[in-house]
């Protein structure tokens, strides 16, 4: 897919500035990673000076053009911060809208990722009241779109139980939202074990409870824990028709890889958010695209967290290898990158890294990136300290923080 243009205030030749910006990121990233590797103190200092000088010169040029915020490299010597740091010259970030923020109900706590946390963590997960609002205020978040923590409904193989638990979770969330409707919104939990029931529950949640869409925690188990459903399968096409008809986004949230996969045997630490989340969700998204789903329903919007689960960084190679492969090809009519840019939104949840954010911007454009924290698994203030000062233009920051979400979700103004 062709690179998208950034909104800029001063640059006339966007292509030129995009290239220059890329070079800054690449150069600085390379310089700082080289710094980490060296053990020679003198050499390290020289490289640091070199990187710092280059960084200061180019960042000032970009800042003067309105492309990034003014950047300082005072912490570059530690080899880790550098381009994540700015001075206070950037404009204040508008009140943020965050949309990968989780809660739990007592009935799903023991089987959720929250069960691994301390009692205090579990209290935070259950709270949809004053403590959570205080956390939001700490991170400059005005509105949270809340969702049931994973694996949630997706891990209930019994279909009637999954249907009834989804309804229970959604009703609970609606009751809590009603107490603070200006601060909280909701994503529906859905029993995808029954596609028709899931479509009905989504319709109820959107039309009767005022929810913003759905957040589903990856693949669903049905009948037995070993029987797994991905949503590109033919039985889900009518469900997707409902999603498009309702005109609401579908957040494809990760869940752990099945531990029985040989690749993870003996390395259970890889199955969750360290790597399995990314791997499973990226494959699931590619299955949706490759199945031709978005050719059939071109107005679908799917949201991916964690700065795109690695897909933006791999999209050129994916499409290149599809073109050159002698084997099976996807059913989708257009390159995979086309759909990534037209049918997907990407959030910053749990991936507070300027280099990665910039790469995602180059691939899908700043109009399709949304702010998120992944509370309470991530710290609201750490997320805000990064995002409010990372080296992007004030206009891009405003879009990601707020205005993109306002355009995507009805009722957020
Ligand atoms: Zn999450």
- Residue 177: inside a domain, yes or no? yes
**Angle between helical axes of 130-138 and 119-126 (0-180°, round to 10):** 90
Same domain? For 277 and 388 the reply is: yes
Please tell me whether residues 166 and 314 are part of one structural domain. yes
Domain stops at, among 54, 84, 114: 84
Distance 48 CA to ligand 1 centre (A): 36
Domain boundary residue, one of 24, 54, 84: 84
- What's the 372 CA to ligand 1 centre distance in angstroms? 9
Domain count, the chain: 2
Say if 89 falls within a structural domain: no
pLDDT at position 258: 75
Q: Please, which residues bridge with residue 213 across strands?
A: 187
103, 109, 248, 280 alpha-carbon torsion, rounded to 10°: 110
Residues of the chain with pLDDT under 50: 1-19, 22-23, 25-88
Q: Write down the catalytic residue from 232, 319, 367, 374.
A: 374
Residue pLDDT, tens place only, 351-367: 999 999 999 999 999 99
Range of the domain at 19: 14-84
If you ran DSSP here, which 8-state letter would residue 123 be given?
H
Rounded to whole angstroms, the Cα distance separating 39 from 24 reads 25
Same structural domain for residues 148 and 293? Answer: yes
Please tell me the distance between residue 33's alpha carbon and the centre of ligand 1 in angstroms.
28
Predicted confidence (pLDDT) per residue in 90-124, tens digit: 788 999 999 999 999 999 998 888 888 999 999 99
- The CATH number for 378's domain is 3.20.20.140
Q: Are residues 205 and 315 in the same domain?
A: yes
DSSP 256: P
Q: What is the pLDDT of residue 15?
A: 43
pLDDT at 262: 87
Please indicate whether residue 374 is annotated as part of the active site: yes
Same domain, 68 and 101: no
- 87 secondary structure, DSSP code: -
Do 172 and 283 fall within a single domain?
yes
Q: Identify the pLDDT of residue 163.
A: 98
CA angle 232, 235, 236 (to 5 degrees): 50
Distance from C-alpha of 316 to C-alpha of 299, rounded to nearest angstrom: 23
The answer to whether the beta carbons of residues 82 and 54 sit under 8 Å apart is no
Looking at the fold, whether 57 and 133 belong to one and the same domain comes out as no
pLDDT recorded at residue 259 = 67
Q: Let me know if residue 182 belongs to a domain.
A: yes
The pLDDT value recorded for residue 99 is: 97
pLDDT of residue 12: 37
How remote is the CA of residue 84 from the centroid of ligand 1, in Å? 23
Residue 8 lies in a domain: no
Query: CB of 81 within 8 A of CB of 39?
Result: no
Q: Cα(374) to centroid of ligand 1, in Å? A: 5
pTM: 0.82
Question: What's the pLDDT score for residue 89?
Answer: 62
Q: Which residue, 129, 166, 123, is CA-closest to 148?
A: 166
């Amino acid at each position: 897919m062709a690179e998208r243009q950034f909104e800029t205030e001063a640059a006339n030749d966007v292509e030129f500035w995009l290239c220059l910006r890329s070079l800054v990121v690449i150069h600085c990233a390379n310089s700082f990673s080289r710094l980490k590797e060296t053990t020679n103190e003198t050499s390290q200092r020289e490289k640091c000076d070199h990187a710092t000088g280059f960084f200061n010169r180019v960042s000032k040029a970009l800042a003067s053009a309105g492309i990034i915020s003014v950047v300082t490299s005072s912490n570059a010597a530690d080899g880790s911060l550098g381009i994540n740091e700015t001075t206070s010259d950037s404009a204040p970030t508008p009140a943020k809208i965050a949309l990968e923020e989780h809660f739990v109900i007592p009935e799903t706590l023991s089987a959720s990722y929250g069960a691994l946390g301390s009692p205090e963590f579990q209290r935070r997960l259950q709270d949809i009241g004053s403590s959570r609002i205080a956390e939001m205020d700490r991170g400059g978040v005005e509105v949270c779109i809340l969702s049931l923590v994973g694996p949630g409904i997706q891990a209930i193989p019994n279909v009637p139980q999954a249907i009834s638990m989804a309804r229970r979770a959604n009703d609970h969330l609606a009751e809590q939202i009603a107490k603070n409707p200006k601060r909280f919104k909701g994503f529906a939990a859905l029993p995808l074990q029954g596609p028709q029931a899931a479509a009905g529950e989504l319709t109820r949640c959107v039309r009767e409870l005022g929810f913003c869409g759905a957040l589903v925690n990856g693949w669903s188990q049905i009948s037995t824990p070993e029987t797994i459903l991905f949503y590109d399968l033919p039985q889900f096409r009518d469900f997707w028709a409902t999603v498009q008809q309702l005109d609401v986004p579908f957040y494809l949230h990760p869940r752990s890889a099945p531990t029985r996969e040989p690749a993870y045997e003996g390395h259970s630490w890889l199955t969750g958010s360290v790597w399995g989340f990314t791997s499973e969700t990226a494959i699931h998204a590619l299955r949706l695209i490759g199945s031709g789903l978005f050719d059939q329903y071109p107005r679908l919007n799917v949201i991916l967290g964690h700065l795109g689960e690695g897909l933006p960084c791999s999209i050129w190679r994916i499409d290149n290898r599809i073109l050159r492969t002698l084997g099976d090809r996807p059913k989708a009519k257009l390159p995979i990158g086309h759909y990534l840019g037209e049918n997907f939104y990407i959030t910053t949840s749990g991936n507070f890294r300027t280099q990665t954010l910039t790469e995602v911007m180059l691939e899908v454009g700043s109009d399709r990136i949304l702010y998120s924290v992944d509370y309470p698994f991530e710290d609201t203030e750490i997320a805000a300290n990064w995002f409010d000062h990372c080296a992007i233009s004030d206009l891009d920051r405003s879009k990601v923080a707020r205005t993109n979400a306002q355009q995507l979700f009805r009722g957020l103004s």
